[in-house]
Amino acid sequence: MYRILCLIIGYFIGCIQTAYLTGKLKANIDIRKFGSGNAGFTNIAREIGFTAGVFVLLIDVLKAVLAFIICSRLFAYAGTDKMILGFYAGAGVVLGHNFPVFLNFKGGKGIASSLGVMLCVDWRAAAIIIIVGLTIMAATRFVSLGSVVMLALFPIFTLIWGRGAENILLAFFVAALAMFQHRGNIKRLLNGNERKFSFKKTQE
Protein backbone atom coordinates (compact mmCIF):
# COMPACT_ATOMS: atom_id res chain seq x y z
CA MET A 1 0.00 0.00 0.00
CA TYR A 2 2.81 2.43 0.88
CA ARG A 3 4.44 1.78 -2.48
CA ILE A 4 1.23 2.73 -4.27
CA LEU A 5 0.84 5.86 -2.15
CA CYS A 6 4.38 6.91 -2.97
CA LEU A 7 3.77 6.31 -6.66
CA ILE A 8 0.60 8.44 -6.54
CA ILE A 9 2.28 11.26 -4.59
CA GLY A 10 5.15 11.24 -7.05
CA TYR A 11 2.75 11.23 -9.99
CA PHE A 12 0.99 14.42 -8.92
CA ILE A 13 4.28 16.16 -8.19
CA GLY A 14 5.40 15.12 -11.66
CA CYS A 15 2.25 16.61 -13.16
CA ILE A 16 3.63 20.08 -12.35
CA GLN A 17 4.75 20.92 -15.88
CA THR A 18 7.66 23.34 -15.54
CA ALA A 19 8.20 23.74 -19.29
CA TYR A 20 4.51 24.34 -19.98
CA LEU A 21 4.22 26.92 -17.18
CA THR A 22 7.46 28.63 -18.23
CA GLY A 23 6.25 28.87 -21.81
CA LYS A 24 2.94 30.38 -20.69
CA LEU A 25 4.41 32.82 -18.19
CA LYS A 26 7.47 33.93 -20.15
CA ALA A 27 6.23 33.90 -23.75
CA ASN A 28 2.48 33.24 -23.50
CA ILE A 29 2.80 30.09 -25.62
CA ASP A 30 2.02 26.42 -25.24
CA ILE A 31 5.52 25.03 -25.74
CA ARG A 32 4.01 21.73 -26.89
CA LYS A 33 2.84 23.51 -30.06
CA PHE A 34 6.28 24.89 -30.94
CA GLY A 35 9.56 23.40 -32.06
CA SER A 36 9.77 19.69 -31.34
CA GLY A 37 6.51 19.81 -29.41
CA ASN A 38 8.21 18.48 -26.29
CA ALA A 39 7.65 20.10 -22.90
CA GLY A 40 11.25 19.94 -21.76
CA PHE A 41 14.61 21.64 -21.44
CA THR A 42 15.78 21.32 -25.05
CA ASN A 43 12.65 22.74 -26.62
CA ILE A 44 12.39 25.57 -24.09
CA ALA A 45 16.07 26.44 -24.58
CA ARG A 46 15.64 26.53 -28.34
CA GLU A 47 12.33 28.39 -28.45
CA ILE A 48 12.59 30.76 -25.48
CA GLY A 49 16.20 30.87 -24.35
CA PHE A 50 18.99 29.01 -22.59
CA THR A 51 18.31 30.54 -19.17
CA ALA A 52 14.68 29.45 -19.30
CA GLY A 53 15.82 26.00 -20.40
CA VAL A 54 18.22 25.64 -17.49
CA PHE A 55 15.48 26.72 -15.09
CA VAL A 56 13.17 24.03 -16.48
CA LEU A 57 15.93 21.44 -16.28
CA LEU A 58 16.74 22.19 -12.65
CA ILE A 59 13.12 22.27 -11.47
CA ASP A 60 12.32 19.01 -13.26
CA VAL A 61 15.32 17.37 -11.56
CA LEU A 62 14.26 18.79 -8.20
CA LYS A 63 10.71 17.46 -8.60
CA ALA A 64 12.03 13.92 -8.45
CA VAL A 65 14.44 14.71 -5.62
CA LEU A 66 11.66 16.35 -3.59
CA ALA A 67 9.27 13.42 -4.09
CA PHE A 68 12.01 10.94 -3.24
CA ILE A 69 12.88 12.71 0.01
CA ILE A 70 9.26 13.32 1.08
CA CYS A 71 8.13 9.72 0.61
CA SER A 72 11.28 8.07 1.93
CA ARG A 73 10.83 10.04 5.17
CA LEU A 74 7.05 10.25 5.38
CA PHE A 75 6.54 6.49 5.33
CA ALA A 76 9.81 5.45 6.95
CA TYR A 77 7.90 4.15 9.98
CA ALA A 78 6.19 1.55 7.76
CA GLY A 79 9.18 -0.74 8.02
CA THR A 80 9.81 -0.66 4.27
CA ASP A 81 13.23 0.19 2.90
CA LYS A 82 13.36 3.99 2.52
CA MET A 83 15.19 3.63 -0.78
CA ILE A 84 12.31 1.61 -2.23
CA LEU A 85 9.70 4.12 -1.09
CA GLY A 86 11.66 7.01 -2.53
CA PHE A 87 12.27 5.10 -5.74
CA TYR A 88 8.52 4.54 -6.21
CA ALA A 89 7.91 8.24 -5.66
CA GLY A 90 10.61 9.13 -8.18
CA ALA A 91 9.18 6.74 -10.73
CA GLY A 92 5.78 8.35 -10.12
CA VAL A 93 7.27 11.77 -10.88
CA VAL A 94 8.59 10.56 -14.24
CA LEU A 95 5.22 9.01 -15.01
CA GLY A 96 3.39 12.23 -14.10
CA HIS A 97 5.84 14.38 -16.01
CA ASN A 98 5.41 12.30 -19.16
CA PHE A 99 1.65 11.83 -18.87
CA PRO A 100 0.17 14.69 -16.83
CA VAL A 101 -3.54 14.28 -16.17
CA PHE A 102 -4.07 18.07 -16.17
CA LEU A 103 -2.70 18.46 -19.71
CA ASN A 104 -4.48 15.58 -21.42
CA PHE A 105 -1.56 13.25 -20.65
CA LYS A 106 0.79 15.10 -23.01
CA GLY A 107 3.92 16.14 -21.16
CA GLY A 108 7.67 15.85 -21.56
CA LYS A 109 10.05 12.96 -22.02
CA GLY A 110 11.15 12.64 -18.41
CA ILE A 111 14.93 12.85 -18.78
CA ALA A 112 15.53 15.58 -16.18
CA SER A 113 13.23 13.94 -13.65
CA SER A 114 14.86 10.58 -14.34
CA LEU A 115 18.23 12.17 -13.59
CA GLY A 116 16.79 13.36 -10.28
CA VAL A 117 15.81 9.78 -9.46
CA MET A 118 19.28 8.53 -10.39
CA LEU A 119 20.94 11.10 -8.14
CA CYS A 120 18.82 9.97 -5.19
CA VAL A 121 19.37 6.26 -5.80
CA ASP A 122 23.15 6.54 -6.19
CA TRP A 123 24.84 9.86 -6.91
CA ARG A 124 28.10 8.15 -7.89
CA ALA A 125 26.46 6.06 -10.59
CA ALA A 126 24.44 9.10 -11.64
CA ALA A 127 27.62 11.17 -12.00
CA ILE A 128 29.18 8.57 -14.30
CA ILE A 129 25.99 8.25 -16.32
CA ILE A 130 25.61 12.02 -16.69
CA ILE A 131 29.24 12.42 -17.80
CA VAL A 132 28.77 9.73 -20.44
CA GLY A 133 25.53 11.31 -21.65
CA LEU A 134 26.97 14.83 -21.79
CA THR A 135 30.04 13.57 -23.64
CA ILE A 136 27.83 11.96 -26.26
CA MET A 137 25.71 15.10 -26.58
CA ALA A 138 28.79 17.31 -26.95
CA ALA A 139 30.38 15.01 -29.53
CA THR A 140 27.28 14.42 -31.66
CA ARG A 141 24.96 17.34 -30.78
CA PHE A 142 22.19 14.76 -30.52
CA VAL A 143 20.51 15.42 -27.17
CA SER A 144 18.19 12.50 -27.76
CA LEU A 145 21.09 10.06 -28.23
CA GLY A 146 22.78 11.14 -25.02
CA SER A 147 19.46 10.97 -23.19
CA VAL A 148 18.66 7.46 -24.42
CA VAL A 149 22.13 6.20 -23.52
CA MET A 150 21.88 7.65 -20.01
CA LEU A 151 18.55 5.97 -19.37
CA ALA A 152 19.79 2.68 -20.83
CA LEU A 153 22.74 2.77 -18.43
CA PHE A 154 20.57 3.38 -15.36
CA PRO A 155 19.19 -0.18 -14.91
CA ILE A 156 22.56 -1.63 -15.94
CA PHE A 157 24.36 0.25 -13.16
CA THR A 158 21.58 -0.63 -10.73
CA LEU A 159 22.10 -4.29 -11.58
CA ILE A 160 25.91 -4.19 -11.47
CA TRP A 161 26.00 -2.40 -8.12
CA GLY A 162 23.61 -4.92 -6.56
CA ARG A 163 20.72 -2.68 -5.58
CA GLY A 164 18.26 -5.56 -5.31
CA ALA A 165 15.57 -6.97 -7.60
CA GLU A 166 12.86 -4.41 -6.84
CA ASN A 167 15.22 -1.48 -7.38
CA ILE A 168 16.38 -3.00 -10.67
CA LEU A 169 12.77 -3.40 -11.85
CA LEU A 170 12.03 0.22 -10.95
CA ALA A 171 15.14 1.36 -12.83
CA PHE A 172 13.96 -0.60 -15.88
CA PHE A 173 10.52 1.00 -15.51
CA VAL A 174 11.96 4.52 -15.44
CA ALA A 175 14.20 3.73 -18.41
CA ALA A 176 11.29 2.21 -20.33
CA LEU A 177 9.21 5.36 -19.84
CA ALA A 178 11.98 7.47 -21.36
CA MET A 179 12.55 5.04 -24.23
CA PHE A 180 8.85 5.08 -25.04
CA GLN A 181 8.79 8.87 -25.09
CA HIS A 182 11.88 8.87 -27.31
CA ARG A 183 10.56 6.32 -29.79
CA GLY A 184 10.27 8.97 -32.50
CA ASN A 185 13.80 10.21 -31.80
CA ILE A 186 15.16 6.67 -31.87
CA LYS A 187 13.53 6.05 -35.23
CA ARG A 188 14.99 9.28 -36.64
CA LEU A 189 18.43 8.43 -35.26
CA LEU A 190 18.31 5.07 -36.98
CA ASN A 191 17.13 6.71 -40.22
CA GLY A 192 19.82 9.39 -39.99
CA ASN A 193 17.45 12.36 -39.95
CA GLU A 194 17.37 13.27 -36.26
CA ARG A 195 17.77 16.99 -35.66
CA LYS A 196 20.97 18.16 -33.96
CA PHE A 197 20.69 20.57 -31.08
CA SER A 198 21.14 24.28 -31.67
CA PHE A 199 19.66 27.47 -30.24
CA LYS A 200 18.21 28.39 -33.60
CA LYS A 201 14.42 28.46 -33.41
CA THR A 202 12.40 26.03 -35.43
CA GLN A 203 10.80 27.57 -38.48
CA GLU A 204 7.04 27.08 -38.27
Quote the CA–CA distance of 87 and 203 in Å, as a whole number: 40
Say what the pLDDT of residue 42 is.
87
**What's the total number of domains in the chain?**
1
In a domain, 201, yes or no: no
pTM: 0.89
In a domain, 41, yes or no: yes
In a domain, 118, yes or no: yes
CB atoms inside a 10 Å sphere around CB 187:
11
What is the domain range of residue 104? Answer: 2-191
Say what the pLDDT of residue 203 is.
42
In a domain, 198, yes or no: no
Quote the CA–CA distance of 15 and 107 in Å, as a whole number: 8
CB atoms inside a 10 Å sphere around CB 152:
14
Instruction: Walk along the chain (204 residues) and give the pLDDT tens digit of each residue.
Output: 789 999 999 999 999 999 999 999 999 999 999 988 888 888 998 889 989 999 999 999 999 999 999 998 887 776 667 889 999 999 999 999 999 999 989 989 999 999 999 999 989 999 999 999 999 999 998 989 999 999 999 999 988 877 788 999 999 999 999 899 999 989 999 998 888 876 555 443
Say what the pLDDT of residue 160 is.
86
Say what the pLDDT of residue 23 is.
93
In a domain, 115, yes or no: yes
In a domain, 113, yes or no: yes
In a domain, 204, yes or no: no
Angle between helices 111-121 and 50-74 (to 10 degrees): 40
Say what the pLDDT of residue 36 is.
82
